[in-house]
Structure 1
Amino acid sequence: MTQLHTPKASRNQETGRLSFMASVSPPRFRLRPRGGVPGATSHPVACTFSSVPAPKKTVRRSLLVTSAALSSLALTAPAALAAPSPSTSPSPSASASPSPSASASPSPSASASPSATPPANMSSVGGTRLGQPGTQVDLGSGAPVIPKDITARSWIVADAESGEVLAAHNAHWRLPPASTMKMLFADTVLPKFPRSEKHKVVPADLAGMGAGSSMVGIKEGETYTVHDLWLGVFLRSGNDAVHVLSAMNGGVDNTVKEMNEHAEELQALDTNVVTPDGYDAPRQVSSAYDLTLFARSGLQKKDFREYCSTVRAKFPGETKKGKKGKSVRESFEIQNTNRLLSGDSDVPVYQGIAGVKNGNTTNAGATFTGVAERNGRVLLVTVMNPSKDEHNEVYKETAKLFDWGFQAAGKARAVGELVPPKSAAQASAQPGANASAGQAGGGDSSTVPRTKAAAEESSGGMGIAFAITGGLLVLLAAAAFLVNRRWPLPDLVRRRPRP
């Protein structure tokens, strides 16, 4: 398969700023190698800045040695030193709303249609101001004002690397997400299957799709690679491709369950998944805040970055009989429906755009999450349901918010943050994290020496073991703090406007 305008670097082994971070995706269930499609080619696009080098190997090596030492001590240490058992709280079911204790928001309405106004009390995840209705912004000296012609019900502008929310409007309003829900679908399912794996489509794979669903053109009885299917998901927003991948993943119900579980891990507590493709359904909701979390998590995966930034590609067609009786399978071109990436008559390609996903349904209206880079800064913008009824309005408003964000960056003060996944937050909250935070900020650096001195004064060998273990925990907590206070993105594919 020949792909056009597909980033070459995004298919490389994970390198750069995220090479040392653990993935927040669910673990793969199949121990199979990942690999590209034989014969595939790509055309790199000019980047606007060079990649930032990964941390020095000596830092990673010291962390590995420390982890190994701590593990060996854990084998002989008393049970009191054991890590706490994981939470036994149940994961959300396919139809259950997020836990009310985790969010101040009311449960999603049984109706698929959103209310006309945002609720007075919304989730405060990421900061109390993000739970307040209306526009939240803290302009510093020299920061431009928010564009007045933004009509979306909900939107957010955030720094993709630091996680700072620069401005937001009804960020936690639970609304129908349309096909932007496919970002969560991809972040959940994409790591499970190698892109070269093939699947022959049977009628059951395509059952249950909603009337009028967007399609890439998958045919029963034809065989497709996983790579083909993901191109269909991202470029054409193909619900047929989503259903085939869901069938490979144990069915739609299982996939919905895993998506809800992954949303909970990401602390996307406004989200309730009912259909994996984002098709309108009762109680299916998300928010601008949660969609931004999905994009931020997905963009750390090289395949996700490749697919969401691909402008056009060749897709396998139907097998037909040739002139000499031989079976011939031709292909046809598909183009990304993200107009900031592919352009349109009234929307130019946005400078620095690198994905992510768009959507449009009756109840959701137009929705979009995009990522773009300019002058070394990477921003995420999500826009949900503009009220202005103009062609490509969701992209026009997104572009205006990107422009504002790049001008306001470094001037506007953050009104909230994109929270890390539960696992990352728990790691930074382990014992000793406060002490390590003080050291990282230039505080008292004598914590570990004092701990060792106290151990030497104790009469028993177990006291020494406790002290050493405590010191190691402090070091690991310090490393966790330094890693998780920023959640950087790897080098993205940046695009310049077409001439």
Structure 2
Amino acid sequence: MSTVGGARLGQAGTQVDLASGVPVLPKDLTARSWIVADAESGQVLAAHNAHWRLPPASTLKMLFADTLLPKLPGTQEHKVAAKDLAGMGAGSSLVGIKENETYTVHDLWLGVFLRSGNDAVHVLSAMNGGVAQTVTDMNAHAQELQALDTHVVSPDGYDAPGQVSSAYDLTLFARSGLQKKDFREYCSTVRAKFPGETKKDKKGKKTRTSFEIQNTNRLLSGDYDLSVYQGIAGVKNGNTTNAGATFTGVAERGGHVLLVTVMNPEKKEHNDVYRETAKLFDWGFQAVGKVQPVGELVPPKSAVSASAQPNPTASAGQAGGGQAGGSSAKPVASASVRSGSSGMGIALGIAGGVVLLLAAGAYLVNRRWPLPDLVRRRSRP
């Protein structure tokens, strides 16, 4: 496996430092791969096969959104042509887009995040120059984010030969996306109105009504057998034949913001991917500040390059008021306590977080970023 983010993240099995005072991990985790990370510092608190390359299902839509959101203004409108909806996989999840109807980009993103609509993905891809161009853009953005386990074949996450990602990469996508206000808005919306089909009444007058859509992230919206998770604020779920159930979530509690990604639990019970995610969140909120990290979420390449540039204001006598792109966080040495189901040896790792803010069109390295109002928003009707 890759060692991006630290040597221990390249080890198979569970990586965690169970020192004195650190709670033990839940015993009944069955996911093939998972990760728990501090969204603000970037520290990986624990992981299991973090870099395993697996089918991502619709969690790949986080990369799709992070790539395309800056390109398409929310107010932009598009009239859907038949070719825009061509090429979707059989049995794709749909929001209900109709040919010859006009939608705003804002409408389409609600369809992507709430209903995981592959039809909305294909229309947005058409607006971006087509599916092939969008796939190229997504792969390039994955490389920029140092998500090196990821190879995109279909922008909607539908099963395709060679299409893979990892729990580590999906967490990078979520962390990058959550720095964008519109991404945070869409992924935290529980329910919304979506434009329906234009129809004529008996008098020939055209009318267009809307219908309600609800977020399929069950930790955010709840279900008959699952309560809304306290502090949940997004992000994205997925489920396909090859991928099984996948999910990346972000939650805030006690002043801490955590990211958890779970891929393909062996249990196939209803909502089990959310139950395992909730257990990892519970563990993470108990462990954060106590457990030594086993790795880090790396910054984008552009942030690394910016932080390496000298600060023009740092030298005496230098003219101008330029601002440096930031500075790297100090690494924190990780202890070598062993734990996990694999029984394999665990190497020493390095952990140190940097957090990224999108400002003035460039990533700046900083220590914290907020998720404003998301927790309160989750309970609104």
8 A contact 1:350–1:496 mirrored in 2 = no
8 A contact 1:299–1:489 mirrored in 2 = no
Aligned to 1:289: 168
8 A contact 2:265–2:272 mirrored in 1 = yes
Question: Which AA in structure 2 matches 1:131?
Answer: G
1:190-269 superposed matches below 5 A = 190-269=69-148
Take 2:377 and 2:118, find their aligned partners in 1: how far apart are those partners? Answer: 30
Three-state SS of the structure 2 residue aligned to 1:176 is: coil
Question: Which AA in structure 1 matches 2:155?
Answer: P
Aligned to 1:484: 365
Indicate how the Cα distance of structure 1 residues 496 and 250 shifts in structure 2: closer, same or farther if over 3 A, else same.
closer
Task: Provide the TM-score with structure 1 as the length reference.
Answer: 0.66
| 2:268 equivalent to 1:389 | yes
| 2:13 equivalent to 1:143 | no
1:400 counterpart (256, 279, 287): 279
Across the two proteins, how many residue pairs are aligned to each other?
A: 346
More helix per residue: 1 or 2? Answer: 1
1:486 is displaced (CA, Å) by: 2.9
Take 2:33 and 2:91, find their aligned partners in 1: how far apart are those partners? Answer: 26
1:307 is displaced (CA, Å) by: 0.5
1:324 is displaced (CA, Å) by: 2.1
Structure number with greater Rg is: 1
More strand per residue: 1 or 2? Answer: 2
| 2:349 equivalent to 1:468 | no
8 A contact 2:6–2:294 mirrored in 1 = yes
8 A contact 1:424–1:484 mirrored in 2 = yes
| 2:31 equivalent to 1:152 | yes
Take 2:110 and 2:372, find their aligned partners in 1: how far apart are those partners? Answer: 21
Task: Provide the TM-score with structure 2 as the length reference.
Answer: 0.86
8 A contact 1:420–1:487 mirrored in 2 = no
Aligned to 2:306: 427
Take 1:286 and 1:243, find their aligned partners in 2: how far apart are those partners? Answer: 20
Residue-by-residue CA offset, 1:96-149 (whole Å, 9 max, x unaligned): xxxxxxxxxxxxxxxxxxxxxxxxxx0000000001000000123311001011
1:197 is displaced (CA, Å) by: 1.2
8 A contact 1:353–1:495 mirrored in 2 = no
1:198 is displaced (CA, Å) by: 1.0
Question: Which AA in structure 1 matches 2:374?
Answer: V
Mind listing any 5+ residue stretches in structure 1 that lack a counterpart? Answer: 1-121, 437-446, 453-466
Question: Which AA in structure 2 matches 1:206?
Answer: L
Mind listing any 5+ residue stretches in structure 2 that lack a counterpart? Answer: 330-363
8 A contact 1:266–1:422 mirrored in 2 = yes
1:112-151 superposed matches below 5 A = 122-151=1-30
1:273 is displaced (CA, Å) by: 0.3
1:194 is displaced (CA, Å) by: 1.4
8 A contact 1:180–1:369 mirrored in 2 = yes
Take 1:411 and 1:348, find their aligned partners in 2: how far apart are those partners? Answer: 28
2:225 counterpart (346, 365, 387): 346
Moved beyond 2 Å, runs of 4+:
429-433, 479-492, 495-499
1:427 is displaced (CA, Å) by: 1.7
8 A contact 1:386–1:394 mirrored in 2 = yes
Take 2:108 and 2:378, find their aligned partners in 1: how far apart are those partners? Answer: 28
8 A contact 2:115–2:213 mirrored in 1 = yes
8 A contact 1:288–1:383 mirrored in 2 = yes
